[in-house]
């Protein structure tokens, strides 16, 4: 299964999503941009997408109102080690109130992996950030062994998105 992502204006991407309502897509936005994600076993409808293979998956995104992308650039030679260490980390998310889904994405045309989590709302994610499970999850990813092995091409970064619906078509939180 693959995930394809494309960026653009919210209105333009919404038209694509509406035109292909039978596809598994989710439209996300923040103050900077909008992203349309297409999850499929087939080919994508996008012209020039960012392409990922799903390494690990849990839950779903259909009811999500908030998404978090942890973007992690990894050196080509170290990808197998990174993937080995990252497999089955979704247990850190399990049973977290408000957690809905997770996708661990291997890039097919770049060096940046994406850990994509879906939440009921921003508050659920912020609450998880204050748990010991969150602290343990990121301490394992950022442990000294990872740093010493020079796995990373650069600094990781986080992008957060609201997932609007008909009742709240804005990028702003309803919290």
Q: For residue range 48-57, what is the model confidence (pLDDT) as tens digits?
A: 999 999 998 8
Span 3-10, mean pLDDT? 96
| Residues linked to residue 54 through DSSP beta bridges, in sequence order | 105
Rounded-to-integer distance, Cα 136 and Cα 111, Å: 25
Of 41-50, 52-61, 115-124, 158-167, the poorest mean pLDDT is in 158-167
CATH number, domain at 68?
3.30.70.100
Cβ atoms 55, 74 nearer than 8 A: no
Rounded-to-integer distance, Cα 126 and Cα 3, Å: 25
In-domain check, residue 38: no
pLDDT for 1: 93
Task: Tell me: pLDDT of 146 over 80.
Answer: no
In-domain check, residue 22: no
Rounded-to-integer distance, Cα 96 and Cα 134, Å: 10
In-domain check, residue 39: no
pLDDT for 119: 96
In-domain check, residue 28: no
Greater confidence, 146 or 65? 65
Number of compact structural domains in the chain: 1
pLDDT for 143: 56
pLDDT for 15: 96
Task: Tell me: pLDDT of 169 over 60.
Answer: no
Enclosing domain of residue 99: 48-162
Rounded-to-integer distance, Cα 80 and Cα 96, Å: 29
Write out pLDDT tens, residues 124-140: 999 988 888 777 766 66
3-state secondary structure of 73: strand
pLDDT for 171: 46
pLDDT for 148: 44
pLDDT for 153: 62
Task: Tell me: pLDDT of 100 over 80.
Answer: yes
Task: Tell me: pLDDT of 174 over 50.
Answer: no
Q: What is the mean pLDDT of the chain?
A: 85
Task: Tell me: pLDDT of 89 over 70.
Answer: no
In-domain check, residue 126: yes
């Amino acid at each position: 299964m693959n995930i394809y992502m494309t960026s653009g204006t919210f209105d333009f991407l919404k038209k694509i999503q509406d035109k292909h309502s039978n596809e598994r897509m989710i439209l996300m936005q923040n103050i900077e941009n909008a992203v349309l994600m297409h999850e499929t076993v087939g080919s994508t409808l996008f012209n020039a997408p960012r392409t990922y293979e799903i390494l690990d998956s849990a839950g779903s995104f259909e009811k999500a109102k908030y998404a978090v992308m942890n973007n992690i650039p990894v050196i080509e030679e170290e990808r197998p080690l990174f993937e080995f260490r990252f497999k089955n980390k979704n247990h850190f998310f399990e049973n977290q109130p408000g957690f809905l889904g997770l996708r661990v994405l291997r890039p097919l045309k770049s060096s940046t992996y994406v850990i994509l989590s879906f939440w009921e709302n921003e508050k659920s994610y912020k609450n998880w950030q204050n748990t010991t499970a969150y602290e343990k999850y990121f301490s394992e990813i950022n442990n000294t062994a990872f740093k010493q092995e020079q796995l990373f091409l650069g600094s990781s970064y986080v992008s957060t998105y609201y997932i609007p619906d008909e009742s709240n078509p804005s990028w702003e939180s309803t919290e």
